[in-house]
Chains A and B, each alone.
Chain A
């Protein structure tokens, strides 16, 4: 089966700093992939390359048959298929939770308002935010905002979801509610690519774990193997500091 997301030998530099020096990974449909690694190891940049927020210098990325690294990429066609959730939520503060979720399907996909609203309400209920539809982002907690952001991405009915350290800015007690939401999503078969520092979550939910350091993938494997018997010294050191 061809992978839904395929990343091959991707290189990226910002000025003098090399951020990615040849990363490759595949994500098959329905898989949950976790990328872990020290900060500055390039994992967020890799994620941003997948929906063309960052354009790599070298390498090839395809998502659901779309060549992301093609010079004449239609970014809008790509981003309809790829949802992304950010560390800082990035909700639109001038719109209510419900409007945040409804905006893109109406404006971009030109779907009918009534149908979109029904879907948006269902999604907000699914992320346990019933009753918060008319709240503005500023009135919601970090965890609630992040769940709105997840619902907002899902309302575009993407084929793959990217999560960029989505719990890193949250209070410890609200981290769980967001992780529960992602886990449910994964269990429903959504293809997910996560950059995370939540080792426990990666261990329980991921099908495959990648460890990155200084722009390369050092080691990868199924979580059971990866966490219990890491082969590389750098992985052991990193996990040793955390666990």
Chain B
């Protein structure tokens, strides 16, 4: 008779090499776009691929704006979120409650609604030192996306800090570290490793959300693609053009997702 015993944990067998799978994805996408293009191109004046190729430079500048929006929103959102997250673990109850509320509010709001809210709430022009500056649409949209990023980073920070063993605080305290020194020298350095994967994940979600800005008229890749389609007035271009846009986002996001997974796996080994 065999006794019921717990089998030791075995890691899953390694899957195919990353490059192979990446290639597979790319091949699939190209086939998808080209296939759709072929099926829909009749005796049209210009081949579909040529039509897309013509618009690539313009739409690329739009994609550049998507990246710019995401980088600014992520950068500013991270700085604000770090501060807000640290406020969430403050010893002062009003600070703690206030920052908790802000975090919850912006974390549980639809991004699109926040975007609309900021587009209409923020001023169209500001006067600095007697000079009036237009606030471009894309900048207001960026601010709208910064708010949810801030709230999510705030939660990532709070979670990471609270996931550290209490003994780390006690050890630092008993060595006469102040609370600030403890945070800065002991707690946060250990948190960075824990925060990195969720933070990168958040960035991937953010860049994928930037086309939302097209709804409020920001001239990013999505808006420009729609504009190009309007200019072409060719039904057979619809699917290939949007397919190409999907491909561009995929090419940008997928390496980030892989890197996140890689970091997560490495952290799991070390913990």
Contacts and interface: CB of A to CB of B under 8 A. Distances in A.
Contacts of B167: 86, 88, 90
A53 B190 contact: no
Given A86-B167, A90-B168, A103 B185 contact: yes
Interface in B199-243: none
B173 A75 contact: yes
Contacts of B168: 90, 92
A55 interface: no
Contacts of A51: 174
B174 to A, nearest CB: 4
A91 B165 CA distance: 11
B61 interface: no
Contact of A94 (B165, B175, B176, B189): B189
A147 B242 CA distance: 63
Interface stretch (A27-35, A76-84, A111-119, A231-239): A76-84
Given A53-B170, A107-B181, A76 B176 contact: yes
Given A76-B176, A76-B178, A156-B176, A90 B171 contact: yes
A140 B270 CA distance: 14
Nearest to A92: B186
Contacts, number: 56
A86 to B, nearest CB: 6
Interface in B109-127: none
Contact of B170 (A83, A90, A93): A90
B170 A153 contact: no
Nearest to B193: A94
Nearest to B166: A90
A104 B176 contact: yes
Contacts of A92: 168, 171-172, 186, 190
Contacts of B170: 53, 86, 90
A138 B174 CA distance: 21
A86 B190 CA distance: 20
B177 interface: yes
Contacts of B181: 107-108
A79 B190 contact: no
What bracket does the count of chain B residues touching chain A fall in?
A: 10 to 19
A53 B175 contact: no
Contacts of A149: 171
A66 B123 CA distance: 58
Contacts of A107: 177, 181, 185
Contacts of A109: 176
Interface in B134-178: 165, 167-168, 170-178
Nearest to A109: B176
Interface in B4-46: none
Nearest to A91: B171
Contacts of B171: 86, 90-92, 149
B190 A82 contact: no
Nearest to A76: B176
A93 B171 CA distance: 12
B189 A79 contact: no
A153 B175 contact: yes
B265 to A, nearest CB: 17
A152 interface: yes
B186 to A, nearest CB: 6
A217 to B, nearest CB: 24
Contacts of A80: 176
Given A107-B185, A152-B175, 4 more contacts: A76-B176, A86-B170, A86-B171, A108-B175
17 contacts: A75-B176, A76-B178, A79-B173, A82-B174, A90-B165, A90-B170, A92-B168, A92-B172, A93-B190, A94-B189, A103-B175, A104-B175, A107-B177, A109-B176, A152-B175, A153-B175, A156-B175
Closest 9 CB pairs of A and B: A90-B171, A104-B175, A79-B176, A90-B167, A84-B174, A108-B176, A76-B176, A80-B176, A94-B189
